Amino acid sequence: MTVKISDGDVCTDNQEVVTFSNAATGQIKALNGFHVEFKVEVRGQSFTVIFQSAERTNHLEAYNGYEVEPGSKFGCDADEYPKLESFVESLDDTNVEEEGLLWMVKRRAEIAAEAELEALAS
């Protein structure tokens, strides 16, 4: 195996559940302030990857309420997602596991965010 992803380390300090409404779908609960950090290793290279709640300050309704984006999008200097993305794209001989790595890490972050939202909203 050439890929290792640590269990996500979730920071709950700034989390909150907010409610948005939309004429088409009614109200939706969304998670703000979510932050999860993974250590990702690919072919001996190690990366710290951080995901945070998708930006919702404009009050646009989120699809599920737990969408996440790489922390670097919001100015998180510790997030090495762009470096990981460049590294994976630079590989000439990727295997199936490596090709799905970026999706897999983001999906793990979404699963963690969904669990946090369910726990806080109930």
pLDDT at 79: 96
Which amino acid makes up residue 48? T
- For the chain, what is the domain count? 1
pLDDT at 22: 62
Long-range Cβ contacts of 53-56 (<8 Å, 24+ apart)? 53/113, 56/18, 56/20, 56/30, 56/32
| Total-model pTM | 0.85
| Domain housing 8 | 3-121
In tens digits, the chain (122 residues) has pLDDT values of 578 999 999 998 889 998 877 666 677 788 889 999 999 999 999 999 999 998 765 555 546 788 899 999 999 999 999 999 999 989 888 777 778 899 999 999 999 999 999 999 88
pLDDT at 61: 52
Pairing of strands 35-42, 9-11: antiparallel
